[in-house]
């Protein structure tokens, strides 16, 4: 899952790094398929070269040796809203078929069953980053027909409306382009809906169907994700996450 997400970053240039799984995926990508990847941390760092994998996204290791450290105002206003971010990498608690994301509450907002972290920067990342990568584990509880709260807009009710609104409102973002889960890789088709394009080694279509709250579209030419290479595994296990904080 982490290796697959990292590989999707090949060819990308400037990536906004989220807390959690995106953090390790992006750091793996910089060490493998995208050595020129510029890491942007919402904490106010451009061009980070973390010497170790930070647990949080505001670790001192992302500062030392970076290209530029700026205020959060500048980071959000000039880098993100100004349109310099190619890929915003987000996690999610719930996602729907159109890539709309909930990270706010499960249940009603006023009296939630589960209080989640909320937006952080996700809402403005979803709108202003040129494209959005999502990384999350999938289940009937996370891949749902209707999310309980829309924290970050995806393709709204479908591509047609989403594209019209992006155009009318002058959004720079084109919305979600990839979702990587523990079972496979999804891209978005012309209707704006998620489509399973690759299954990870060992995962089955049955598992996928049993962990999606709608009938998922599946690519005509469904492929199998190449297994993590020895080098990817070594980097993850020995260098990036020796204590298993992300991968245990």
Partner 1 sequence: MSGKVTTMRDAVAELVRDGDTVAIEGFTHLICFAAGHEIIRQRKRDLVLARLTPDLIYDQMVAAGVARKLIFSWLGNPGVGGLYAIRRRIEAAELGDEPPLEVEEYSHFGMVGRYTAGAANLPFYPLRSYFETDLPKANPLIRPVRSPYGDEIVYAVPPLKPDVAVVHAQRADAGGDAQVWGLLGCQKEAAFAADRVIVVVEELVDEAVVRADPNRTIIPGLIVDAVVVEPFGAHPSYVQGYYDRDNRFYRDWDPISRDPAALQAWLEEWVYGLAGREEYVARLGPERLAAIRPSGSAPSGPVDYGAYR
Give, as ranges, the residues between 31 and 90 that touch partner 1 (CB under 8 A): 36, 38, 42-47, 49, 51-52, 54-61, 63-74, 76-78, 80-84
Smallest separation, CB 208 to partner 1 (Å): 27
Q: Rule CB under 8 A: is residue 206 a binding residue for partner 1?
A: no
In the bound state with partner 1, the residue whose beta carbon lies nearer, of 127 and 185, is 127
The phi, psi pair for 97, rounded to 5°, reads: -60, -25
Asked if 10 and 31 count as a contact pair (C-beta separation under 8 A), the reply is no
Asked if 56 and 120 count as a contact pair (C-beta separation under 8 A), the reply is no
According to DSSP, the residues that pair with 105 across neighbouring strands are: 115
Smallest separation, CB 88 to partner 1 (Å): 13
* Known active-site residue 221: no
Q: Rule CB under 8 A: is residue 212 a binding residue for partner 1?
A: no
Site size toward partner 1 (CB under 8 A) is 75
The one segment of 118-126, 196-204, 213-221, 223-231 that binds partner 1 by CB under 8 A: 118-126
**Length of the chain counted residue by residue:** 248
In the bound state with partner 1, the residue whose beta carbon lies nearer, of 227 and 245, is 245
Rounded CA separation 163/159 (Å): 6
Task: Please identify which residue in 118, 158, 202, 226 interacts with partner 1, judged by CB under 8 A.
Answer: 118
For 11-38, b where at least 16 C-beta lie within 10 A, e where not — what string?
A: ebebbbbbbbbbbbbbbbbbbbbbeebb
In the bound state with partner 1, the residue whose beta carbon lies nearer, of 78 and 207, is 78
Give, as ranges, the residues between 121 and 180 that touch partner 1 (CB under 8 A): 121-124, 127-128, 149-153, 156, 165, 169-172
Q: Rule CB under 8 A: is residue 188 a binding residue for partner 1?
A: no
What's the Cα-to-Cα distance from 99 to each of 111, 175, 243, rounded to whole Å?
25, 8, 32
Tokens, residue 22: 């995106």
Q: Which residues are catalytic?
A: 42
């Amino acid at each position: 899952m982490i290796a697959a997400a990292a590989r999707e970053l090949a060819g990308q240039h400037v990536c906004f790094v989220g807390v959690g799984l995106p953090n390790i995926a992006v750091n793996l990508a910089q060490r493998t398929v995208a050595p020129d990847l510029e890491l942007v941390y919402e904490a106010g760092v451009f061009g980070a070269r973390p010497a170790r994998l930070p647990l949080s996204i505001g670790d001192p290791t992302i500062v030392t040796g970076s290209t530029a450290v700026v205020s959060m105002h500048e980071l959000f206003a000039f880098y993100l809203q100004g349109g310099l971010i190619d890929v915003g990498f987000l996690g999610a608690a719930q996602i729907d078929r159109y890539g709309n994301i909930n990270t706010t509450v499960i249940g009603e907002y006023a009296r939630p069953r589960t209080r989640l972290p909320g937006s952080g920067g996700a809402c403005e990342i979803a709108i202003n980053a040129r494209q959005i990568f999502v990384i999350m584990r999938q289940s009937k509880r996370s891949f749902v027909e209707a999310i309980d709260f829309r924290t970050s807009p995806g393709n709204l009710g479908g591509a047609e409306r989403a594209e019209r609104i992006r155009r009318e409102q002058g959004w720079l973002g084109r919305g979600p382009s990839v979702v990587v889960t523990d079972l496979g890789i999804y891209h978005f088709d012309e209707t704006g809906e998620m489509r399973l394009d690759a299954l990870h080694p060992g995962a089955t279509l049955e598992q996928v169907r049993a962990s999606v709250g709608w009938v998922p579209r599946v690519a005509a030419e469904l492929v199998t994700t190449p297994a993590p290479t020895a080098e990817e595994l070594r980097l993850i296990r020995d260098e990036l996450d020796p204590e298993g904080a992300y991968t245990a």
